Amino acid sequence: MTKITPQPGIMDIALYKSGEAVIPGRTEVLKLSANESPYGPSDRAKEAFARSAATLHRYPCTDHADLRAAIAEVHGLDPERIICGVGSDEVLQFVAQAYAGAGDEVIHTEHGFAMYPILAHAVGATAVCVPERDRRVDVEAILAACTARTRIVFIANPGNPTGTLLSGTELARLADGIPGGAILVLDGAYTEFAEGHDGGAALVSARENVIMTRTFSKAYGLGGLRIGWGYAPGAIIGVLNRIRQPFNLSSTQLVTAEVAMRDQAWLAKVVADTIRNRSWLIEALRKTGVAADDSHANFVLARFGSEQEAADCDAALRGEGILVRRVAGYGFPDALRITVGDESACRRVVHAIGQFKGVR
């Protein structure tokens, strides 16, 4: 027997499954399984990406000052309180690594993002799963689950795959109610699609125990580039920067993201189109007899009558070359998560579901 064993917790990790990208035997696939932008990144960002080839022999800067300045200007934030990572996933990882370990508890919620328990296990902490209420994060249930060992509370807001949103008042109540040694992490991967919502930025500015994470992977159409950022109290940023690798982001990532951030006209168009298509998709699904909550993200959780019906519909969609996401692993065996595509994609998926349901 080998004496080589991993750290406690690591073998408790269930491997992360991403949205599928291919259907065997099909060349043309409509991929609505990973919440990617159907519009891709802005042209300016693509130009910056191409231009970056000229300086690939140089090491990137380590302090990300230009990117942080662009983010700070656009969002009206203090650049000293911003940290950038390889996707927002890396920022979440910094938080877990810096603030939780063996004997500590990390709270996530019933339908929350699969990365949260993975991160807790990876640092040897205990992942504590709290029920949601009607597909919404339940603030009181989280507060009831907090103990003296709670170090981190991870919440996606809007939620994935629910698409539901907690109000500023509910977030403030949560931040006020968690124990003194705990941090509330607001994962804002879909904040751009939640009209009138700041992702919790004001709450971060006002408090010492809240962190907001954001990403270029969704609304900015740069999932393949792997870049995200966090906004946190200065003391926490000072901690996270100690464990961040100095060259975690390439010069290509940095310059492309900076240009993408400054192209807010492109972002506004993507968001407006997505919100319009989302409303249409939800209404159209309801007309075919499929239940769907209002969504504040770029996807819709389509709920069927049973697990079997969801599986059959998934199979029918595959037959039409359409990939959506089964979400049994997120506590929804009877549902499919459908990314809001462009107008023709929305029409195609609704048409296929309508045919499956026998509705025209």
Ligand X SMILES: *Cc1c(COP(=O)(O)O)cnc(C)c1O
What is the contact surface with ligand X in residues (CB under 6 A)?
35, 87-89, 113, 156, 160, 187, 189, 215, 217-218, 223, 228
**Cβ–Cβ under 8 Å, residues 213 and 188:** yes
User: In this structure, what token pair is assigned to residue 2?
Assistant: 């080998």
Element (H, E) at 221: none
Long-range contacts of 139-145 (CB under 8 A, 24+ apart): 139/166, 139/170, 139/173, 139/174, 139/177, 142/107, 142/109, 142/174, 142/178, 143/174, 143/177, 143/178, 145/107
Kindly state the smallest distance separating residue 193's Cβ from ligand X, in Å.
12
Amino acid at 218: K
Nearer to ligand X, 222 or 352 (CB): 222
Kindly state the smallest distance separating residue 278's Cβ from ligand X, in Å.
16
Kindly state the smallest distance separating residue 305's Cβ from ligand X, in Å.
26
Nearer to ligand X, 214 or 348 (CB): 214
> Which residue's CB comes closest to ligand X?
87
Nearer to ligand X, 30 or 189 (CB): 189
Eight-state DSSP code of residue 360: -
Query: What's the burial of 318, exposed, middle or buried (CB within 10 Å: 0-12/13-18/19+)?
Result: middle
Kindly state the smallest distance separating residue 230's Cβ from ligand X, in Å.
10
What is the chain's percent helix, strand, coil content, to nearest 5?
45, 15, 40
Nearer to ligand X, 72 or 114 (CB): 114
Nearer to ligand X, 326 or 348 (CB): 326
Kindly state the smallest distance separating residue 226's Cβ from ligand X, in Å.
7
